[in-house]
Structures are given as structure tokens and as C-alpha cells.
């Protein structure tokens, strides 16, 4: 395995092995793919406790959050894909134009080849293995680069993958940002990146140099709109659930709330009451590292409502709601990615759109409203990767729905069926028999063929 950016020979050798393995056709068999995914399921189950311990070391994740988001969710996706991928990828017959006959026209889905997956630190197991499962099911070989910022999970991923796969099929490459730079400079057949918009632009630009197809799963400031018709108590609870899950370090968490002025005080009071009763110091993931902790501290404005105590030594930042911020505040200039929740208000619909439009298209749009016309209008007027109405996070947590962004929040979709299709491409195949007539010989001299065309092709 590659440990440092300078060890390029090992990586070059690994890529050569993977290309040769893919070219051998070894990954083409559906029985081979299903067997590999079956081994992964078994090993993942055997490492359930190790997974929980690694997530505790890296992020201080509560057991419930770790189990649901980074273990059970993966198991469910793995089982669904293993059961259904052959059907999803089955070659399909389509109609042929009459002037092609006799012939057979088909659409088949083929794997890209050698895939690079670059994963983030905030959900280090889920966001590494979810795309990997889909890539393997589609018939690719995979090089996985986990985030070095979650070192316990990085080591566990390397262990799990080594137990399940031969390195020429799937391999984990461990290292820092220089290693990631080296990897993204190389020529793969497909690149899947999850991370910040800033780094995503760099990775996408590198892929473009080689015309490498790619998926970018990024982030952005996801707005949460609460209009005057919303049920305040329900909105308060569900917004808090989404915002502070994983310590606010979720790419599609509600980034800020923009609320009708007549219910702003009621919403803040409801949130204050609920937060005051929650033991956040021991029941919320900590900030990933000291650099991000310092960044978040600088974003906290005067007038912030704090719930619990900060613990710098343990990287635990108490959750805060920020009811006194304005649109020019520092916290409104970047994606927060932490347990800080700004709450702003709007005067009318045009004012609402104007303020939301100051930020790029987000990964998610959250709407709390009982007004059907308002909900439909917002979905038409505000572009986003996904939408969740009267709740948060659910649109990104269903295996029956594709997940991804639009514009600055990324492009491409995955999860379940969408993931398997993302790691394969559609290929048109037309088969002509050697018997039978060729109705139109498209070679000069054409003679009076134009009259025949006009007669039959109208």
C-alpha cells in the first residue's frame, strides 16, 4: 500500500495490476460480483464493534448515530444491491427503425473500468463503502482513498478491504493530501469524489484534462424555510434533529433557517426549550480536529444562545442557535459544517428568494409549511439537489431515491439503483444478420432513391 506521496512506484504497479485484472474479464461475471459483495457483508458484520470504536475515536459519534448511519444503512444498501444489481444491469431490447430491418437493437450497461473513489471524513465508513459497493456491483476495479482526517476509520477500511478483496480488484490507498493530489493527477476510467466544493472543483478540473467521467458530491449552504403556516413545535424539533446529527457535520444538513418574522420568536423559544433538555455534551459527535474547531469558534457571533459547555480538549463544541445574525455575518458567508444554527427572517416572498439566491444551488432545500401553493412555488423557484418538506435529511437517507447535488453542490447521482447505474455506462448495440436484404444501400450512385425515401419515410 502507498503510505507517502513519494512512493509512486507502488501506486503505478497497483494501477497496472487493476487494469490487467479488469481487461482479463474477471469482474464481468455477476456471480463473481455477488460473491465479492457477500464476503464484504460478512466481514462488515464481523467488524461491527470495531467500526463503532473507530467512529468513537475519530468523531466521538454516539452509538445510535454510528449504528444507523454508518453500519445498518450500509448493510441495507449492500443487501439491496447484491440482490438487485443483475436485474438493474440487464441488457434490454429496444425497437429498431423499419429501414434497419432485419436487425436487433439492444441497450447494455458496461462497467467503466478502473475507478477512483475519494471519500471524506464526516461519514468515513458510509461515504467510502457506499460508492464502493455500487462500483463493485457494476463490475469495476476500485482504488479507494479514505480521508486521513479520520485515521481510525482509515485503518479499519484498509483492514476490511484487504480481508475481502484481492488488491488487483479493490485496494485502499492510505496517505495525506499529497497522496490524494497524486491519485487525482493520474488517469482513471471514472472518478467519484465526495468533499468540499473548493476541492471538488480542483478534482473535476483534473478529470476534465483526460475527459474522465466523474461524479462530484459536494455541499453548500442548505436553506431551511419556515413560513407563517408551519407547525412551529414540529418544525423546531425536526430542524434540530437534522442540524445537530453528527455534530452538524453533514453535507446536506440544514445550514440556516429563514423564517417568517411573525413566528420567529416562537420558533426560537421552541428550539431553546428543546435544546435545554438535551444532554449535548455526551450525546453529540465532536468536531473532527482542532483546525475546524478554531474555524467554528471564529464564526460564533455575539448574542448566540449556547446549550451546554465547550470542551476544547475533547473537541466538543456546544450547540448554539444564532437568532441575532444578519446576512452579512461571517457565519453566513460559508458552509458552517458544525453545531451552529443561524436563524434569520424575511419580509415577503421576493425578499426570501433574493436572500437565498445569494448562495449557490444547495445540496438540499428544506421547507416547513402547510401551504401547498407555497411549497410548490419554492420548489419551482429554488434550485437544489433534493427537497424535504416538513422534515430534514430524509431525502438523502432513502435507498429508493437518488442522492446528489446541482450546480455548486455537485453533479451525478448515486444510492441503491442510481449508484449501480452511475458506475456503469449505457452502450448501444445493433446486430445485423448476414442474411436478408439491405433495403437502402447508402452509397452513390443514389439514382432515384430519393423518391423511394419520400414515398415510404413520411
Q: In this predicted model, what pLDDT tens digit does every residue of 158-175 receive, in sequence order? A: 999 999 999 999 999 999
Cell 483492514 belongs to residue: 159
The verdict on residue 89 lying in a domain is yes
Q: What is the pLDDT of residue 440?
A: 61
Q: For 19-57, how does the pLDDT look when each residue is reduced to its tens digit (9 = 90+)?
A: 999 999 999 999 999 999 999 999 999 999 999 999 999
Residues 148 and 247 both lie in one domain = no
Q: What is the pLDDT of residue 8?
A: 42
- Rounded CA-CA distance 18/115 in Å is 10
Lowest mean pLDDT among 1-5, 262-266, 363-367: 1-5
The verdict on residue 3 lying in a domain is no
Is pLDDT of 290 > 70?
Answer: yes
Task: Catalogue the active-site residues.
Answer: 217, 251
Residues 151 and 238 both lie in one domain = no
Residues 176 and 73 both lie in one domain = yes
The verdict on residue 136 lying in a domain is yes
With a CB cutoff of 8 Å and minimum separation 6, the contacts of 407 are 360, 361, 383
Confidence of residue 392 (pLDDT cuts 50, 70, 90): very high
- Rounded CA-CA distance 119/324 in Å is 36
Phi-psi region of 246 (alpha: psi -120 to 50; beta: other; left: phi over 0): left
Q: What is the pLDDT of residue 282?
A: 76
Percent of the chain residues topping a pLDDT of 70: 97
Q: What is the pLDDT of residue 404?
A: 97
Q: Which three cell numbers stand for residue 222?
A: 442548505
Is pLDDT of 9 > 70?
Answer: no
The answer to whether 173 and 158 have CB atoms below 8 angstroms apart is no
Q: What is the mean pLDDT of residues 373-394?
A: 97
Cell 497496472 belongs to residue: 16
Q: What secondary structure letter does DSSP report for 72?
A: I
Cell 417568517 belongs to residue: 260
Phi–psi pair at 401, nearest 5 degrees:
-125, 135
- Rounded CA-CA distance 84/214 in Å is 24
Q: What is the mean pLDDT of residues 341-370?
A: 97
Percent of the chain residues topping a pLDDT of 90: 88
Alpha helices (runs of H) in 60-141, residue ranges in sequence order: 63-67, 73-88, 126-137
The answer to whether 213 and 115 have CB atoms below 8 angstroms apart is no
Among residues 26, 128, 40, which one has the least CA distance to residue 81? 40
Residue 152 is part of a domain; what is its CATH number?
Answer: 3.40.605.10
- Rounded CA-CA distance 194/203 in Å is 10
Q: What is the pLDDT of residue 357?
A: 94
Is pLDDT of 449 > 90?
Answer: no
**Can you say how many angstroms the Cα of residue 302 is from the centroid of all Cα atoms in its chain?**
34
Residues 103 and 233 both lie in one domain = no
Residues 245 and 379 both lie in one domain = yes
With a CB cutoff of 8 Å and minimum separation 6, the contacts of 348 are none
Among residues 180, 129, 187, 178, which one has the least CA distance to residue 156? 129
Residue 262 is part of a domain; what is its CATH number?
Answer: 3.40.309.10
Among residues 19, 428, 411, which one has the least CA distance to residue 217? 411
Q: What is the pLDDT of residue 5?
A: 35
Q: What is the pLDDT of residue 155?
A: 97
The answer to whether 300 and 329 have CB atoms below 8 angstroms apart is no
Give the number of other Cβ atoms within 10 Å of residue 147's Cβ.
24
Q: What is the pLDDT of residue 439?
A: 64
Residues 117 and 156 both lie in one domain = yes
- Rounded CA-CA distance 106/311 in Å is 61
Among residues 274, 214, 211, 244, which one has the least CA distance to residue 414? 214
Residues 183 and 232 both lie in one domain = no
Q: What is the pLDDT of residue 210?
A: 94
Among residues 431, 397, 390, 239, which one has the least CA distance to residue 321? 239
Per-residue exposure over 356-395, b if at least 16 CB sit within 10 Å of its own CB, e if not: beebbbbbbbbbbbeeeebbeebeeebebbbebebbbbeb
Residues 123 and 92 both lie in one domain = yes
- Rounded CA-CA distance 389/367 in Å is 5
Is pLDDT of 147 > 90?
Answer: yes
Residues 208 and 229 both lie in one domain = no
Number of domains comprising the chain: 2
* Terminal-to-terminal C-alpha distance of the chain: 63
Residues 387 and 421 both lie in one domain = no
Q: Which three cell numbers stand for residue 103?
A: 436487425
Is pLDDT of 69 > 90?
Answer: yes
Is pLDDT of 133 > 80?
Answer: yes
The verdict on residue 130 lying in a domain is yes
Confidence of residue 457 (pLDDT cuts 50, 70, 90): confident
Q: What is the pLDDT of residue 455?
A: 81
Residues 227 and 203 both lie in one domain = no
The verdict on residue 111 lying in a domain is yes
Is pLDDT of 340 > 80?
Answer: yes
Give the structural domain span for 53. 8-218+409-426
Residues 299 and 281 both lie in one domain = yes
The verdict on residue 389 lying in a domain is yes
Q: What secondary structure letter does DSSP report for 171?
A: E
Maximal C-alpha separation, the chain: 89
Q: In Å, what is the CA distance from 170 to each residue of 51, 204, 413, 429?
A: 20, 23, 22, 29
Q: For 76-105, how does the pLDDT look when each residue is reduced to its tens digit (9 = 90+)?
A: 999 999 999 999 999 999 999 887 888 999
Confidence of residue 383 (pLDDT cuts 50, 70, 90): very high
Confidence of residue 441 (pLDDT cuts 50, 70, 90): low
Q: What is the pLDDT of residue 10?
A: 87
Calculate the average pLDDT of the chain: 94
Is pLDDT of 281 > 70?
Answer: no
The verdict on residue 448 lying in a domain is no
Q: Which three cell numbers stand for residue 314?
A: 475533547
What's the whole-model pTM score? 0.94
- Rounded CA-CA distance 128/55 in Å is 13
Is pLDDT of 315 > 90?
Answer: yes
- Rounded CA-CA distance 403/384 in Å is 11
Confidence of residue 275 (pLDDT cuts 50, 70, 90): very high
Amino acid at each position: 500500500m502507498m503510505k507517502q506521496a513519494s512512493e509512486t512506484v507502488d501506486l503505478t504497479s497497483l494501477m497496472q495490476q487493476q487494469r490487467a485484472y479488469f481487461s482479463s474479464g474477471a469482474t464481468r461475471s455477476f456471480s463473481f460480483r455477488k460473491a465479492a459483495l457477500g464476503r464484504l457483508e460478512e466481514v462488515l458484520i464481523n467488524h461491527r464493534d470495531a467500526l463503532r470504536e473507530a467512529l468513537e475515536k475519530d468523531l466521538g459519534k454516539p452509538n445510535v448515530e454510528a449504528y444507523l448511519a454508518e453500519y445498518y444503512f450500509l448493510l441495507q444498501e449492500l443487501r439491496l444491491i447484491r440482490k438487485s444489481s443483475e436485474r438493474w444491469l440487464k441488457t434490454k431490447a429496444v425497437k429498431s427503425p423499419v429501414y434497419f430491418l432485419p436487425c436487433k437493437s439492444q441497450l447494455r450497461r458496461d462497467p467503466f473500468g478502473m475507478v477512483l473513489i475519494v471519500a471524506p471524513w464526516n461519514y468515513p465508513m458510509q461515504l467510502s463503502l457506499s460508492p464502493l459497493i455500487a462500483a463493485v456491483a457494476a463490475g469495476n476495479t476500485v482504488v479507494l482513498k479514505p480521508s486521513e482526517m479520520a485515521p481510525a476509520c482509515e485503518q479499519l477500511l484498509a483492514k476490511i478491504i484487504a480481508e475481502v478483496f484481492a488488491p488487483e480488484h479493490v485496494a485502499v490507498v492510505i496517505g495525506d493530501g499529497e497522496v490524494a493530489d497524486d491519485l487525482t493527477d493520474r488517469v482513471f476510467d471514472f472518478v467519484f469524489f465526495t468533499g468540499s466544493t473548493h476541492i471538488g472543483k480542483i478534482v473535476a478540473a483534473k478529470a476534465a484534462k483526460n475527459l474522465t467521467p466523474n461524479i462530484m458530491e459536494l455541499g453548500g449552504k442548505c436553506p431551511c424555510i419556515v413560513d407563517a403556516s408551519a407547525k412551529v413545535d414540529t418544525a423546531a424539533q425536526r430542524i434540530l434533529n437534522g442540524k445537530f446529527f453528527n455534530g452538524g457535520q453533514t453535507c446536506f444538513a440544514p445550514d440556516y433557517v429563514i423564517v417568517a418574522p411573525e413566528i420567529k420568536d416562537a420558533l426560537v423559544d421552541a428550539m431553546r426549550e428543546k435544546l435545554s433538555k438535551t444532554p449535548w455534551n455526551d450525546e453529540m459527535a465532536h468536531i473532527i480536529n482542532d483546525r475546524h474547531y478554531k474555524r467554528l469558534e471564529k464564526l460564533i457571533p455575539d448574542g448566540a444562545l449556547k446549550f451546554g459547555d465547550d470542551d476544547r480538549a475533547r473537541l466538543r463544541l456546544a450547540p448554539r442557535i444564532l437568532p441575532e445574525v444578519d446576512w452579512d455575518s461571517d457565519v453566513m458567508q460559508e458552509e458552517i459544517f458544525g453545531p451552529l444554527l443561524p436563524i434569520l427572517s424575511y419580509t415577503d416572498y421576493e425578499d426570501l428568494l433574493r436572500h437565498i439566491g445569494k448562495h449557490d444551488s444547495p445540496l438540499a432545500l428544506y421547507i416547513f409549511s402547510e401551504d401547498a401553493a407555497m411549497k410548490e412555488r419554492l420548489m419551482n423557484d429554488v434550485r437544489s439537489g433534493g427537497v424535504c418538506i416538513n422534515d430534514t435529511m430524509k431525502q438523502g437517507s432513502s435507498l429508493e431515491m437518488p442522492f446528489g447535488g446541482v450546480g455548486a453542490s455537485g453533479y451525478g447521482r448515486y444510492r441503491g439503483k442510481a449508484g449501480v447505474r452511475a458506475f456503469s455506462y449505457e452502450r448501444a448495440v445493433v446486430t445485423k444478420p448476414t442474411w436478408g436484404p439491405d433495403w437502402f444501400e447508402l452509397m452513390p450512385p443514389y439514382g432515384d432513391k430519393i423518391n423511394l425515401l419520400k414515398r415510404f419515410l413520411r
